[in-house]
Chains A and B, each alone.
Chain A
Amino acid sequence: MIAWLRGNLFSGWASGLATLLVCAGAAALLPDLLRWGATHAVFAPDAEQCRALDGAGACWGVIAEKYRLVLFGRYPHAEHWRPALATALVLAVLAGFLLLPRAGRFFLGRAVPLAAFAAFGIAALAGALFLMAGGALGLAAVDTSRWGGLPLTLLLALGAVVGALPGGILLALGRRSSLPAIRALCAVYIELVRGLPLIPVLFMAAFLFPLFLPRGLGADVLLRVLVALILFAAAHLAEVVRGGLQSVPQGQYDTARALGFTPWQVQRYIILPQALRAALPALTNSFIAVFKDVSLVTVVSLYELTGALQLALAGDADWRPYFLEGYLFIGAIYWAGCFALSRWSARMEAR
């Protein structure tokens, strides 16, 4: 114990000084923080009480009051069970992938899992989408313009990843193709898109796609934005997959070819499974990036979590002063998602 303290807190005068400084800082800040966040905070959805605080404590009541609007946006209030269920569905499938070691081994150990992954993802997406959209089986139809909050964030992120992965793999393979023109095309696409921030790409989805897509195809902002996210993510995923491909020695390719596999078969059964496994940690980091990037769709007025929060609080004089609490709330949601994914990827990397 003492030895640990010695080694880790007071190993030299500089270290000792740092320890003292950090402790002093903590002593100065922590009590205030605790007072603000807990002891003086208001937890009841009572605007009067919150106003009486006058900033001395947090008004967590704003979450209690508005959480449904923040989580589900403009979705019709009476139907909130549907986005809730859709969210649960998506989360359950994701958690299944991340947590069940069996699923993990299944996913990693064979050549098919990519298809299995896609199939699961698509099934879950389809189920959740149906719950959200309705229009059959006695569920009232809900227009996509009213979707919002957490399910929108999750669906967009998942949709972008599921949609971009095949494209990313093809682009990565294309970039290593022996045909110079294909190689150049893929490289140009990848580098072009990776050079852009997401916002202009979203602007394209909002302002340009409708002008050249035939009517009907371009009708839904949500769809257009999803397409933009997929196009964007595919280029980023392609680079990651390429990294994985490079980790597979060229000798394997030659050997397999000599054994009589066609080039596609070699890729499909030998190279890709290994490459994807090698790239998995990096891929997960890209998924995290996509998940965070989805928050930008609020710029083209889709009300995902961040947008839904604005919607819930900006138009309500009683609760407008408590954005900070709202930001912390959705920040915590994002953080939990990203942190879980990044832990998972670190574990994969360690294996």
Chain B
Amino acid sequence: MRRRFAEAGRRAFLWQALAVGLLLLGGWWVAGRVEGELAARGIRSGFGFLLQPAGFEIGESLFDFHAGLAYWQAFLVGFANTLRVALPGLLLATVLGALIGFARLSPNFLLRALGTAYVEVFRNVPLLLQLLTWYFLLTEKLPPVADAVEFLPGFFLSKSGLAFPLPAFAVAAGELAWPQRGLLNIEGGATVTPEYLAVLLGLAAYSAAYLAEIVRAGILSVSRGQVEAAAALGLTARQRMRWVVLPQALRLIVPPAGNQYLNLTKNSSLAVVVGYPDLVSVANTTLNQTGQAVECIAILIAVYLALSLATAALLALYNARLLRRGSAA
């Protein structure tokens, strides 16, 4: 018996060693091959290019970027642009998703039907198509910038995006920089481009459909008995929601919602199709200008993996806290 056990152990060890060995060998082979091919074909490699001037402009950015800055700074701008669209997207999607989730549970038939229709439409059409449609609507149906509509004082909407007043620290604290019609463009103030708007709306609308389902499932999971018991205790519908249903539903909602947030962030990589300069778009441009595909793709992968890991860590933290609270209670 002991012999057999030992033999099985040896077999298992052999298997694993083989798998790991094969993997290492495979990785080594691919790496060697890529390296060899790059050298043999006279293609430059290495991350040195990151320190060189990028030489291209980025259409919109949170920082003051210009072409004289280095590639790594361009990547940073791209990453910031990804977050700049993903974070407000999260908020918008959450609000919209919660509203639609509640609508689907409403006693009102019309609201229920609307909610269902929304979910079924937005979930079943590829996000790419939705982004393109939003973008088309914004750039085709809005007036050209020369005839921008000023729907509120200082707010201009046109094919060039939305221009709005912004606190201008440079002018004087507390004063607003007002956009005005310039020769070609709206000048001054702040603008968000139609590319940004399309990505924001597209991501939010798409994710909201999934979040709505998560919210609905979370609320439905709270047993009827509890709600009835609470009602018997004389709690109003609102109190029942606030004190009985939501706290329990939230535990079920948060983990899948967290994944959905991560998906939204990953999906922001589709921004490249409507010309929004997110991380992928910057990596793509850099790849084309320098020809250093391996490096650019490696950076992309590393950044997205880091985001995924961070989300996973946050969720794990939340779960741990819940468990601790659960056991304390």
Contact = CB atoms under 8 A, between A and B. Distances in A.
Contact of B107 (A11, A198, A208, A335): A11
Contacts of A198: 269
A178 B266 contact: no
B15 A182 contact: yes
Given A208-B293, A292-B127, A335-B124, A199 B269 contact: yes
Interface in B244-303: 266-267, 269-270, 272-273, 280, 284, 287, 293-294, 297, 300-301
Nearest to B259: A194
B25 interface: no
A211 B34 contact: yes
B309 interface: yes
Given A334-B126, A338-B124, A339-B124, A200 B106 contact: no
Contacts of A321: 140
Of residues B20, B111, B125, which shows the largest number of chain A Cβ atoms within 10 Å of its Cβ?
B125
Nearest to A321: B140
Interface stretch (B128-136, B157-165, B222-230): B128-136
Contact of B133 (A185, A199, A204, A327): A327
Interface stretch (A37-45, A137-145, A293-301): A293-301
A191 B316 CA distance: 15
Interface size class of A (residues with CB under 8 A): 35 or more
A197 interface: yes
A324 interface: yes
A330 B128 CA distance: 12
Contacts of B15: 179, 182
Contacts of B127: 292
A207 B120 contact: no
B329 interface: no
A324 B272 contact: no
Given A9-B108, A18-B106, A342 B124 contact: yes
B67 interface: no
A192 B294 contact: no
B269 A197 contact: yes
A94 to B, nearest CB: 16
24 contacts: A9-B109, A9-B110, A12-B107, A15-B107, A19-B108, A22-B114, A55-B141, A195-B305, A195-B308, A196-B266, A196-B305, A198-B269, A200-B269, A203-B284, A208-B293, A208-B294, A211-B34, A211-B37, A292-B125, A298-B128, A299-B272, A323-B140, A324-B136, A342-B124
Given A195-B304, A199-B280, A324-B133, 7 more contacts: A179-B12, A192-B305, A207-B287, A211-B38, A212-B30, A293-B126, A323-B132
